[in-house]
Amino acid sequence: MRPGVPSLSISLLILSDEAANVERLSDQVLRHRAVVAAFWLLVALAGGLLAPTTVDRLSYDFALPGQPAYEANTRIADEFGGGGADDPLLVVVEGPDAESGAGDVAGAIEQQVPGTRVVTAADPGAGSLTGEGDEVSVALVYPPVTPGPEPYAASQDRIEAIVSEAGAGSGRATLTGFLLLAEGGGGGDRSVLVEVVLGGAGALVVLALVFASLLAGLPLLVAAVSILGTFLALLGLTALTDVSFVVQFLVGLIGLGVAIDYSLLIVTRWREELTAGRDNDAAVRMAMRTAGRSVLFSGVTVAVSLAALVLVPLPFLRSIGLGGLLIPLFSVATSLTLVPALLSAVGPRLLWPRRGPARSRSRFWEGVARRVLAHRWLTIVGCTAALLALAAPVLTLTLGSPQLSGLASSAPASTAATGAVRAGVPSGALRPVEVLAPAGTLDGLAEDLRAVDGVGAVAQPDGAGWERGGEGLLQVWLADDPASEGGRTALAEVRAAVADRPAVEVGGSPAEDADFVTAVYDDVVWVVLAVVVLTFLLLARALRSVWLPVKALALNVVSIAAAYGVTVLVWQEGLGSELLFGQPATGVITTWVPIAAFAFLFGLSMDYEVFILARMREAYDEHGDTDRAVVDGIAHTGRLVTSAALILFLAFVALSTVPAVEVKVLATTLALGIVIDAVVVRGLLAPVSRGW
């Protein structure tokens, strides 16, 4: 053993009481394996039957209690029946006499969809809704809002029919709007089952390559049971609190990856023990004693990371934390009970048609470990420089909703919206800033706001429904896209212009976006600190070391920063967004993505750290040589970790097929984080750090 490098021997000790608990659990499972299998069968059946109910009860509310824009938007929605945080639909009319045509369509919608408010170029201050040359004119339509994923679902079909009928005349009429564009042109209502099937198909290919036998189906079966069980628990959670619709995708796809990862670790170790000559149940017990212990600790670590989201003072992110917390818990539960029960009952039969003993040691990863140990400092400097270079774009990270340019496509709704903006209609008309004020002050307030830098127009609609209870609404359309730097600056100027008027409230989705950033990230340091401290305590207790957890946490931070950096390059700057997703850059990163991705990636990456360290400890116990233990540990876990990471990566690729842009951005960050962590950090940096 190299002198002066005893950190592995000091730090890689897994607690004996955890081992004893896992062994006792294994004995109970093997003794009652039929009961265990029957229990999980009932859970899966109940989860499957009730899954549609669970999905129906999920929330699409992004509440920001106490934030001024949210409170203003709530009042606007309550008093005026819509608007506020819900951006309007737009009817774009092109052709001769476009302004008159837009007015006619808007009037028809008002008559046929009761409760609808409209704004046309004929309203005071709204002349800019007609573009240069009078060939394009826009009408803003605020139908009554209904709860659910599509706020205008109750009336949208009727509005589309009216617009289509108008488009059959001499001009061309198209229904568009920011909500339709952000949901992929209105195609965002798709079952999570589609993504799970796509992710499961990718996972099956990887598992088939790993096992080359029917055994490949076992982790998938366990993952299916885990996902259905989590959906059942999620139904119970919806009875206690609102749960975000985003959670269904996280349960389906992260649950798929995590459950497969955990069961893959146990099954791989079981097969290795069989090859070493143990009988079936003895192999199961040894796999549980070693790999099962790692799964238990890994699941707790992931759960702790996700639980930290509960500290964020927003119901939306809290629900992601609570819902996400169920994923590792059910994955651990099924892996530690259903997997050994199935292996004990039918495991050897699943080895068909593979012939000969399975290789547990990867020559490739053994070679990698030897080479990086032989060139420690070159590996450290090279990998660190690469990760810091990837992380550098984080310094330009901008948070918000996508810019209009980032939602552009060949769809008619997109071409109509971008065409109207090119014709001179203010970008802000797609996402108006709404100002709520006493009715008697609207004239003077409108004049003051028109003088604010960056304001394209201020409309004072005088139609039905724009004044209620002595208060009225102004529409402020920013000259630049509200998600751009110029738009954000103009919004700040608008808010400053009314700051000394307590009776005036500023709402609209751009204002709520700004408050979302404040609400999430003003206190984000406490969330990050909670995750880091709790993870450190867990690692220090399990590994009986102070220095090794510090190194593991530092590597985590660097790998997550690198994932953020590449996400900024792809989605904010547009490097590869067209090639990978068929979409231009959004210009920003969705507000809630960084904090949610941090919680998931921080826990998931620790899975691989624990898997590797546990195997290194076993090797060190055999021969007492630190460097040799590092090589042995990487040789036994390298292929396992890369396979597990590939399965998670494919799950996130499936997640990226969801039409909603914000989900695509989250999927990109998670996929990049897993690949960077598994290959660069755990495969290269982690081995050389063991001798520090």
DSSP calls for 227-270: HHHHHHHHHHHHTTS--BTHHHHIIIIIHHHHHHHHHHHHHHHH
- Residue 597: inside a domain: yes
- Express as a percent the part of the chain with pLDDT over 90: 48
Return the pLDDT at 169: 59
- Residue 415: inside a domain: no
3-state SS, residue 76: helix
Decide if pLDDT at 8 tops 80: no
The answer on 93 and 227 residing in a single domain is: no
User: Cβ distance 31 to 284 under 8 Å?
Assistant: no
> Among residues 128, 153, 176, which one ends one of the domains?
176
Return the pLDDT at 9: 36
- Residue 321: inside a domain: yes
Please report which helix (H) or strand (E) contains residue 438, including its range.
strand 433-438
Return the pLDDT at 456: 94
| Residue owning tokens 């408050």 | 515
The answer on 577 and 685 residing in a single domain is: yes
- pTM beyond 0.75, yes or no: yes
Domain that holds residue 121: 88-176
Specify the DSSP class assigned to residue 13.
P
Return the pLDDT at 183: 67
**pLDDT bucket at 555, cuts 50 / 70 / 90:** confident
- Residue 427: inside a domain: no
**pLDDT bucket at 543, cuts 50 / 70 / 90:** low
Of the candidates 369, 358, 32, the one whose C-alpha atom is nearest the C-alpha of residue 215 is 358
Higher model confidence: residue 126 or residue 146?
Answer: 126
Decide if pLDDT at 226 tops 90: yes
- The size of the chain, in residues, is 692
Return the pLDDT at 449: 96
Distance between CA atoms of 651 and 199, rounded to whole angstroms? Answer: 4
pLDDT tens digits, 403-444:
888 787 788 898 999 999 999 999 999 999 999 999 989 999
pLDDT tens digits, 12-22:
333 345 666 78
DSSP calls for 443-469: HHHHHHHHTSTTEEEEE---STTSEET
- Residue 641: inside a domain: yes
- Residue 681: inside a domain: yes
Type of residue numbered 230 = T
> Among residues 176, 204, 224, which one ends one of the domains?
176
The number of folded domains in the chain is: 2
- Residue 231: inside a domain: yes
Residue 190, both tokens: 């798709």
Q: How far is CA 73 from the centre of its chain?
A: 25
Q: Return the number of other C-beta atoms located less than 10 Å from residue 390's C-beta.
A: 22
Residues 6+ apart with CB under 8 A from 360: 268, 271, 272, 275, 636
Return the pLDDT at 3: 36
- Residue 79: inside a domain: no
The answer on 196 and 168 residing in a single domain is: no
The answer on 526 and 386 residing in a single domain is: yes
Q: Mean of the pLDDT values across residues 69-79?
A: 93
Higher model confidence: residue 578 or residue 350?
Answer: 350
The answer on 682 and 582 residing in a single domain is: yes
Higher model confidence: residue 9 or residue 392?
Answer: 392
Q: What is the mean pLDDT of the chain?
A: 87
Of the candidates 176, 196, 172, 195, the one whose C-alpha atom is nearest the C-alpha of residue 186 is 176
The answer on 225 and 94 residing in a single domain is: no
Decide if pLDDT at 525 tops 90: no
Phi, psi of 141 (to 5 degrees): -125, 125
CA angle 251, 612, 378 (to 5 degrees): 115
Decide if pLDDT at 660 tops 80: no
The answer on 257 and 154 residing in a single domain is: no
Please report which helix (H) or strand (E) contains residue 472, including its range.
strand 471-478
Decide if pLDDT at 294 tops 50: yes
Residue 602, both tokens: 């921080």
pLDDT tens digits, 100-123:
999 999 999 999 999 999 999 999
pLDDT tens digits, 251-293:
888 888 899 989 999 999 999 999 888 999 999 999 998 889 8
The answer on 245 and 110 residing in a single domain is: no
Decide if pLDDT at 563 tops 80: yes
Return the pLDDT at 690: 57
Query: What CATH code is carried by the domain that includes residue 52?
Result: 1.20.1640.10
The answer on 344 and 205 residing in a single domain is: yes
Residue 500, both tokens: 């000394």
Decide if pLDDT at 387 tops 80: yes
- What is the signed CA dihedral for 569, 570, 572, 577, rounded to 10 degrees? 150
> Among residues 176, 202, 226, which one ends one of the domains?
176
The answer on 51 and 199 residing in a single domain is: yes
The answer on 672 and 538 residing in a single domain is: yes
Decide if pLDDT at 381 tops 60: yes
pLDDT tens digits, 137-181:
999 999 999 887 788 988 999 999 999 888 655 568 999 999 888
pLDDT tens digits, 594-639:
988 888 888 787 778 778 877 887 888 888 888 888 899 899 888 8
Return the pLDDT at 547: 77
Query: What CATH code is carried by the domain that includes residue 134?
Result: 3.30.70
- Residue 438 pairs in a beta bridge with 471
The answer on 643 and 545 residing in a single domain is: yes
**pLDDT bucket at 11, cuts 50 / 70 / 90:** very low
Decide if pLDDT at 56 tops 70: yes
Residue 533, both tokens: 């401290």
Distance between CA atoms of 456 and 480, rounded to whole angstroms? Answer: 8
Distance between CA atoms of 284 and 28, rounded to whole angstroms? Answer: 12
pLDDT tens digits, 365-377:
999 999 999 988 8
Phi-psi category of 4—alpha, beta or left, where left has phi over 0 and alpha has psi -120 to 50? left
